[in-house]
Amino acid sequence: MNDTYFQDQVAVVTGAGGTLCSVIACDLAERGARVALVGRTPAKLQVVADKITAAGGNCRIASCDVTDERGMQQLADELLADWGPCRFLVNGAGGNNIKAMTTLTAFDASELGDARPEGQVGFFDLDMEMFEQVLNTNTLGTVIPSRVFGRQMASAGGGSIVNFASMNSYCPLTRVPAYAMAKAAVVNLTEWLAAYLAAANIRVNAVAPGFFVNARSVQYLGSVQSGLTPRGQKVIDHTPMGRFGEAKDLLGCVAWLLDDRASGFITGATIPVDGGFLTRSGV
């Protein structure tokens, strides 16, 4: 499926060892791009690299924490020297952490007492270190790669960035205050950067996936195969298409947003890929 537009261009995909961006990285490699796979765990990236290589694609493992600006700059310098400037950046690294979630969906007077029910976590009990980590990964983890690779794009005459928002970007879900706040910020940053970088011929957009099962979310949503949790059932009931998303549901949208031929006058947009979740008020 080589495509002259992507052929030999440098694409950087952060979170490339994860559920969604591993599939996006494989798709960009299949289109002919040279793909840098960014994440903190080399073993996860190796699995994706092996898949790409076996299919005849070109990629390299670029292990780094997206919140480490110095590390990311070093990575960007190495890539520039070996491959040339980045043209496409997919900021997929991110996600929630169960330790930054409440178990309660609304304030309960028991939060104020000493004898709390076992396992209960309210807003006042939240671990602020984890809260900050979730905020940083999703926000600074989008800002930093956009700075180090955006600079390369600007020097080379242009490029395209796709960020990862969420349903939480529009209206916060219960129990995930840090993640919801961070993903709302990603939409705002996408708009800010789009306005700022248009003069450098760089477009900046975002995708907002609905509910896609990954290793973490399966703990609180369940799965169709193993049984849904009450929260998972609520999500499905609220999704007109009646299912969770699969990574391949994102491929067309991401490739379209990266491609000037298809979306060359679109910047600052966040596109929901959600089976219709946002169309249903719940009433």
What is the binding site for ligand NAP (CB under 6 A)? Answer: 14-15, 17-21, 39-41, 44, 65-67, 92-95, 137, 141, 164, 166, 209, 211-212, 214, 216-217
- Our separate counts of H helices and E strands in the chain read 10, 9
Q: Are 195 and 268 in contact (CB under 8 A)?
A: yes
Q: How far is the CB of 182 from ligand NAP (least distance, A)?
A: 8
Q: 187-197 in b/e burial notation, b at 16+ Cβ within 10 A?
A: bebbbebbeeb
Note if 179 is an active site residue: yes
Q: Which residue, 33 or 45, has its beta carbon nearer to ligand NAP?
A: 45
Other beta carbons within 10 angstroms of residue 123's beta carbon come to 12
Q: How far is the CB of 16 from ligand NAP (least distance, A)?
A: 7
Q: Which residue, 186 or 194, has its beta carbon nearer to ligand NAP?
A: 186
Q: How far is the CB of 109 from ligand NAP (least distance, A)?
A: 33
The contacts of residue 265 (CB under 8 Å, 6+ apart) are: none
Task: Name the active-site residue from 5, 170, 179, 196.
Answer: 179
Q: Which residue, 24 or 32, has its beta carbon nearer to ligand NAP?
A: 24
Q: Which residue, 39 or 57, has its beta carbon nearer to ligand NAP?
A: 39
Residue with tokens 């690779």: 149
CA nearest 214: which of 50, 93, 126, 85?
93
Q: Distance (Å, rounded) from C-alpha 23 to C-alpha 255? A: 12
Q: How far is the CB of 240 from ligand NAP (least distance, A)?
A: 17
Tell me the residue nearest to ligand NAP as measured from the CB: 18
Catalytically active residues, by annotation: 179
